């Protein structure tokens, strides 16, 4: 990340350094008094035709003219600021430009054998390490690399170090969001000045050796020595840290082609050099032009490698090395022109800030803890009982899941909002419940039915061949075609409802049956709904449903019996007893066990309802008291405000009475919550018991229905078959043999059965289909049973 220094647009600093000479042409080269301008004057009769009859005087204004300047002064003038700002995070680039022999290498590297004459490079390293020593507040690391670009090829001048070794693949310039780096270039961590110097010398040596062994002219290559600085604050737990690079560039000689009549290798070198230097100039000028958004960095290796270190956001210094000799005036002019063009370029240095992920996490954790404390204080001031903001554990999630289920079932009116995390978990659990229900429905369907894709004609025709379905895909024997056919589930119902409640019921059922009806021989499975044994279910009549429920809680009987009891004796009476009468008998005989469980469940249900109503009353009472307390508190508060408030160090002083009221209110709210929680639990239990009661009633009625038909309406021959047992059991009576109940009775039964459907009318077609299918199944079984009996 770059952070620009506001309003600090800077120009590229351009200096000119004149190489000392014994015969300095004073009449041709003049310096201004400000030591910043340099004038070149040519006599008209100069032998060099090029300048004849053309402009003869040039004046260049630069940032400084270094004439007879010591290495020390050059460093102070040119490099010192750039280096010191690099430690604050600003990239810096210092380049030496000029014709071969004008003193670029002398300026940059200096005389390696003479300390006094050392150049910018060793001095920069010294300054960096000196500054690190001074900055005890920061942990600063230094790395260096030394790159040479020769004929557009990259060479690592430090690859000879034993621990580096030559790179197997050629180096490439890689760009990433952090900047530009050269893949394959060795970068060396240096903890002290001396190591850094060793590296510098290693590189210099390689530069010289390469010029011999590879027959390459060292003045034809660009050399970039880079110092990488990374600075972390030791004192601040700041996750930000800064990085910077100082590029010290010794450019190839700028002399132009043609002067020496170059050919072959030299020509090639010269072409590359001219190109790269002119690209460098183009890139820098483009950088200075704020209207330009494309900078041609990739045109050559030099500009590409320096992409994040040129112009733009870094400190840039150009040292133009010139000869102080009349014979070199043409190149000198060319170099000075380059310098003055560079000087016009503006840059906007910016700090390279990066983020230390580890520190950032630590700081965020700290802040989180603080905010939590803040929240706790806020809650206690707002009289909220302790709210937990931590991530939820399994138990809490399970609780939310149960709330959501109860909410969906309708036993919970609303889910209280506690905090954001809880809200999110509620939504999450909605999704969980929904997808579970979908799966349950599907697996329930698959258990029972073979689902065939409507578009799978092969499968459909196979089923048709087997005689199980008619051409429309309806099961054989479905006159209305509304039953459970083949293909996509052909009914509309609310996803999951029945199956889900059925499962919950099953799950729940096993508990009270075992616990409160321990002697019950009926297993969960046996108590399960068996719609196969019921009549078809018809849409409910709204009022009746409620009516039936009310009745069932007040009376202990599931079936209203107004007629007097009649004894049911074998042999079978010529006229069957009325259904209510027969029902009484059934409850005492065959249905006694179910009836007992049914009654037990109902008494539990009633007991829970009573408790729920008591709890509701208590809650109301507490609510009232809360209201009165609040009112009293308000009065007290108003009084205090009227009398003038006392403050002590920003804290409000309240009297004891008000304080006690606050405490009381807090206590009441706590009670209120506890009671409310109880009520919620009770409601869940009530819902649960209600299911049990419903299912028991259903079972009782179903069994009764079968028993009644078998006892009074089934022909004698079938009775024999039933008695001989084998494959026919109650519930397997062929439906075509079962005499229908009277209009009224059937109606009543249908209504009763409707009350067993908690889902409402949408589910009717679903159950109808289910019942029909089961009936068909049982019918086929019974027929087989009868055939076997007849054979005997």
Per the annotation, binding residues for ATP are: 98-105
Task: Give whichever of 93 and 595 is closer to Mg ion, judged by the CB atom.
Answer: 93
Task: Give whichever of 101 and 580 is closer to Mg ion, judged by the CB atom.
Answer: 101
Report which of 390, 391, 403, 393 is spatially closest to residue 429, judged by C-alpha positions: 403
Q: Are 159 and 167 in contact (CB under 8 A)?
A: yes
Task: Give whichever of 114 and 575 is closer to ligand ADP, judged by the CB atom.
Answer: 114
Smallest gap from residue 322 Cβ to ligand ADP (A): 10
Give the CA-trace dihedral at 169, 171, 175, 176, to 10 degrees: 50
By DSSP bridging, strand 92-98 and strand 240-250 are parallel
Phi/psi at 150 (5° precision): -130, 125
Which single residue brings its beta carbon nearest to ligand ADP? 103
Question: Which range touches Mg ion (CB under 5 A), out of 111-119, 214-222, 288-296, 688-696?
Answer: 214-222
Q: What residue 20 binds from Mg ion, ligand ADP, none (CB within 5 to 8 A, per partner kind)?
A: ligand ADP
For the segment 217-236, give every residue that binds Mg ion (CB under 5 A): 219
Q: Are 315 and 346 in contact (CB under 8 A)?
A: no
Smallest gap from residue 338 Cβ to Mg ion (A): 17
Question: Which range touches ligand ADP (CB under 6 A), out of 104-112, 143-151, 399-407, 637-645?
Answer: 104-112
Helix (H, G, I), strand (E, B) or coil at 705: helix
Positive/negative CA dihedral, 462, 465, 471, 472: negative
x/- string (CB under 6 A) for ligand ADP, residues 240-279? Answer: -------------x--------------------------
Q: What residue 98 binds from Mg ion, ligand ADP, none (CB within 5 to 8 A, per partner kind)?
A: ligand ADP
The helix or strand, by DSSP H or E, that contains position 57, with its residue range, turns out to be: strand 57-61
The packing angle between helices 420-448 and 394-409, to 10°, is 60
**What is the secondary structure of 474-533 as a DSSP string?**
PBTT-SSS-SS-SSS------TTHHHHHHHHHHHHHHHHHHHHTTT----HHHHS--GGG
Could you give the C-alpha distances from 149 to 94, 170, 295, 477, in angstroms and in order?
17, 12, 21, 91
Report the residue from 25, 101, 487, 730 that binds ligand ADP according to the rule CB under 6 A.
101
Report the residue from 105, 534, 695, 750 that binds Mg ion according to the rule CB under 5 A.
105
Cα–Cα distance, 767 to 538 (Å, whole number): 10
Phi/psi at 29 (5° precision): -120, 120
Smallest gap from residue 320 Cβ to ligand ADP (A): 11
Phi/psi at 704 (5° precision): -60, -45
Task: Give whichever of 102 and 158 is closer to ligand ADP, judged by the CB atom.
Answer: 102
Report which of 183, 154, 177, 185 is spatially closest to residue 308, judged by C-alpha positions: 177
For the segment 316-335, give every residue that binds ligand ADP (CB under 6 A): 321
Task: Give whichever of 313 and 320 is closer to Mg ion, judged by the CB atom.
Answer: 320
Smallest gap from residue 293 Cβ to ligand ADP (A): 35
Q: What residue 60 binds from Mg ion, ligand ADP, none (CB within 5 to 8 A, per partner kind)?
A: none
Smallest gap from residue 279 Cβ to ligand ADP (A): 20
- DSSP percent split of the chain into helix, strand, coil, nearest 5: 50, 15, 35
Q: What residue 485 binds from ligand ADP, Mg ion, none (CB within 5 to 8 A, per partner kind)?
A: none
Q: What residue 347 binds from Mg ion, ligand ADP, none (CB within 5 to 8 A, per partner kind)?
A: none
Q: Are 531 and 674 in contact (CB under 8 A)?
A: no
Report the residue from 14, 65, 86, 102 that binds ligand ADP according to the rule CB under 6 A.
102
Smallest gap from residue 275 Cβ to Mg ion (A): 19
Helix (H, G, I), strand (E, B) or coil at 683: helix
Helix (H, G, I), strand (E, B) or coil at 421: helix
Question: Which range touches ligand ADP (CB under 6 A), out of 99-107, 562-570, 630-638, 710-718?
Answer: 99-107
Task: Give whichever of 325 and 585 is closer to ligand ADP, judged by the CB atom.
Answer: 325
For residue 97, the 8-state DSSP code is E
Smallest gap from residue 337 Cβ to Mg ion (A): 21
Report the residue from 93, 186, 219, 422 that binds ligand ADP according to the rule CB under 6 A.
219
The residues, ordered by sequence, that sit 6+ positions from 737 with a Cβ below 8 Å of its Cβ are 714, 715, 718
Cα–Cα distance, 282 to 226 (Å, whole number): 22
Report the residue from 13, 38, 104, 272 that binds ligand ADP according to the rule CB under 6 A.
104
Task: Give whichever of 103 and 496 is closer to ligand ADP, judged by the CB atom.
Answer: 103
Question: Which range touches ligand ADP (CB under 6 A), out of 96-104, 312-320, 335-343, 506-514?
Answer: 96-104
211 binds ligand ADP (CB under 6 A): no
105 binds ligand ADP (CB under 6 A): yes
Smallest gap from residue 225 Cβ to ligand ADP (A): 14
Tokens of 733: 């009576």
118 binds ligand ADP (CB under 6 A): no
Smallest gap from residue 27 Cβ to ligand ADP (A): 22
Long-range residue pairs from 558-567, CB within 8 A, at least 24 positions apart, any chain: 558/598, 558/697, 558/700, 558/701, 559/583, 559/701, 559/752
481 binds ligand ADP (CB under 6 A): no
Report which of 85, 76, 162, 156 is spatially closest to residue 120, judged by C-alpha positions: 76
Task: Give whichever of 253 and 734 is closer to ligand ADP, judged by the CB atom.
Answer: 253
Q: What residue 220 binds from ligand ADP, Mg ion, none (CB within 5 to 8 A, per partner kind)?
A: none
Q: What residue 321 binds from ligand ADP, Mg ion, none (CB within 5 to 8 A, per partner kind)?
A: ligand ADP
The packing angle between helices 592-643 and 656-712, to 10°, is 160
Report which of 332, 340, 344 is spatially closest to residue 40, judged by C-alpha positions: 332
Cα–Cα distance, 127 to 774 (Å, whole number): 94
> Applying CB under 6 A, what is the total number of residues that bind ligand ADP?
13
The helix or strand, by DSSP H or E, that contains position 175, with its residue range, turns out to be: strand 172-176
Task: Give whichever of 105 and 309 is closer to Mg ion, judged by the CB atom.
Answer: 105
x/- string (CB under 6 A) for ligand ADP, residues 11-30? Answer: --------xx----------
Question: Which range touches Mg ion (CB under 5 A), out of 215-223, 255-263, 469-477, 769-777?
Answer: 215-223
For the segment 692-731, give every residue that binds Mg ion (CB under 5 A): none
Could you give the C-alpha distances from 125 to 103, 317, 691, in angstroms and in order?
20, 17, 85
Question: Which range touches Mg ion (CB under 5 A), out of 104-112, 265-273, 556-564, 656-664?
Answer: 104-112
Tokens of 762: 């949408």
If 0-12 CB within 10 Å is exposed, 13-18 middle and 19+ buried, where does residue 778 land? buried
x/- string (CB under 6 A) for ligand ADP, residues 272-311? Answer: ----------------------------------------
500 binds ligand ADP (CB under 6 A): no
636 binds Mg ion (CB under 5 A): no
Task: Give whichever of 157 and 757 is closer to ligand ADP, judged by the CB atom.
Answer: 157
Helix (H, G, I), strand (E, B) or coil at 165: coil
Positive/negative CA dihedral, 429, 432, 437, 440: negative
First to last CA, the chain: 96
Q: What residue 573 binds from ligand ADP, Mg ion, none (CB within 5 to 8 A, per partner kind)?
A: none
Cα–Cα distance, 548 to 130 (Å, whole number): 95
Which single residue brings its beta carbon nearest to Mg ion? 105
Report which of 242, 243, 205, 248 is spatially closest to residue 226, judged by C-alpha positions: 248
Smallest gap from residue 104 Cβ to ligand ADP (A): 3
Smallest gap from residue 108 Cβ to Mg ion (A): 8
Binding residues for ligand ADP, rule: CB under 6 A, are 19-20, 98, 100-106, 219, 253, 321
Contact positions toward Mg ion, by CB under 5 A? 104-105, 219
């Amino acid at each position: 990340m770059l952070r620009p220094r506001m309003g600090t647009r800077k120009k590229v600093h351009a200096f000119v350094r004149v190489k000392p000479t014994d015969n300095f042409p004073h009449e041709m080269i003049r310096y201004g008094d400000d030591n910043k301008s340099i004038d070149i004057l040519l006599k008209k009769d100069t032998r060099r035709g090029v300048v004849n009859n053309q402009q003869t005087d040039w004046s260049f204004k630069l940032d400084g003219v270094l004439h007879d300047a010591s290495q020390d002064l050059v460093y102070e003038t040119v490099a010192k600021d750039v280096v010191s700002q690099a430690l604050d995070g600003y990239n810096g680039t210092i380049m030496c430009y000029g014709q071969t022999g004008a003193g670029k290498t002398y300026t940059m590297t200096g005389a390696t054998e003479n300390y006094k004459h050392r150049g910018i490079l060793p001095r920069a390293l010294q300054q960096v390490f000196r500054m690190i020593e001074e900055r005890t507040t920061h942990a600063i690391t230094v790395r260096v690399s030394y790159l040479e670009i020769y004929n557009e090829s990259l060479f690592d001048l430090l690859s000879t170090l034993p621990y580096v070794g030559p790179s197997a693949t050629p180096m490439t310039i890689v760009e990433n969001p952090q900047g530009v780096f050269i893949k394959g270039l060795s970068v060396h961590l240096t903890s002290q000045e001396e190591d850094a110097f060793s590296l510098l010398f290693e590189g210099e040596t390689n530069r010289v050796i390469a010029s011999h062994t590879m027959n390459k002219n060292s003045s034809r290559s660009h050399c970039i020595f880079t110092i990488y600085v990374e600075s972390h604050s030791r004192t601040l737990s700041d996750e930000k840290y800064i990085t910077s690079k100082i590029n010290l560039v010794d450019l190839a000689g700028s002399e132009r082609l043609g002067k020496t009549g170059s050919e072959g290798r030299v020509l090639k070198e010269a072409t590359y050099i001219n190109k790269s230097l002119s690209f460098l100039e183009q890139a820098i000028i483009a950088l200075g032009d704020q209207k330009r958004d494309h900078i041609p960095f990739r045109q050559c290796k030099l500009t590409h490698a320096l992409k994040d270190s040129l112009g733009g956001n870094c400190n840039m210094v150009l040292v133009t090395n010139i000869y102080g000799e009349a014979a070199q005036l043409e190149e000198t002019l060319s170099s000075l022109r380059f310098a003055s063009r560079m000087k016009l370029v503006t840059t906007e240095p910016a700090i390279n800030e990066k983020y230390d992920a580890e520190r950032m996490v630590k700081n965020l954790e700290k802040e989180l803890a603080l905010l939590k404390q803040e929240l706790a204080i806020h809650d206690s001031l707002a009289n909220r009982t302790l709210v937990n903001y931590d991530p939820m554990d399994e138990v809490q999630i399970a609780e939310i899941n149960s709330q959501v289920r109860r909410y969906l079932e309708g036993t919970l009116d609303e889910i209280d909002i506690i905090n954001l995390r809880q809200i999110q978990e509620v939504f999450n659990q909605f999704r969980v419940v929904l997808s579970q229900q979908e799966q349950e429905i599907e697996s329930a369907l698959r258990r029972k039915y073979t689902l065939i894709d409507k578009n799978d004609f092969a499968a459909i025709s196979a089923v048709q061949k087997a005689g199980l379905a008619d051409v429309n895909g309806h099961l054989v024997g479905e006159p209305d075609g509304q039953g459970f056919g083949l293909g996509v589930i052909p009914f509309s119902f609310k996803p999951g409802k029945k199956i889900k409640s059925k499962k919950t019921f099953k799950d729940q059922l096993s508990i009270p049956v075992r616990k409160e009806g321990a002697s019950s021989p009926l297993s969960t499975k046996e108590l399960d709904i068996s719609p196969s044994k019921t009549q078809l279910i018809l849409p409910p009549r709204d009022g009746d449903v409620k009516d039936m429920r009310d009745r069932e809680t007040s009376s202990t009987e599931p079936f209203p019996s107004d007629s007097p009891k009649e004894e049911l004796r074998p042999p079978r009476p010529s006229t069957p007893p009325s259904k209510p009468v027969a029902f009484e008998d059934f409850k005492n005989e065959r249905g006694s066990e179910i009836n007992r469980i049914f009654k037990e469940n109902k008494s539990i249900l009633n007991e829970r309802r009573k408790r729920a109503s008591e709890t509701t009353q208590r809650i109301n009472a507490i609510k009232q008291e809360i209201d009165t307390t609040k009112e009293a508190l308000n009065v007290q508060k108003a009084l205090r405000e009227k009398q003038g408030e006392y403050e002590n160090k920003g804290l409000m002083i309240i009297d004891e009475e008000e304080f006690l009221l606050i405490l009381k209110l807090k206590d009441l709210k706590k009670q209120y919550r506890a009671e409310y929680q109880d009520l919620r639990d009770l409601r869940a239990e009530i819902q649960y018991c209600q299911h049990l009661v419903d299912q028991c009633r259903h079972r009782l009625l179903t069994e009764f229905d079968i028993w009644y038909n078998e006892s009074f309406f089934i022909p004698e021959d079938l009775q024999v078959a039933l008695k001989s047992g084998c494959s026919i059991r109650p519930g397997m009576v062929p439906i075509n043999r079962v005499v229908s109940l009277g209009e009224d009775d059937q109606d009543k039964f249908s209504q009763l059965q409707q009350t067993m459907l908690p889902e409402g009318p949408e589910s009717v077609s679903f159950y109808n289909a289910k019942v029909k299918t089961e009936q068909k199944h049982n019918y086929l079984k019974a027929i087989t049973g009868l055939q076997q009996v007849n054979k005997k």
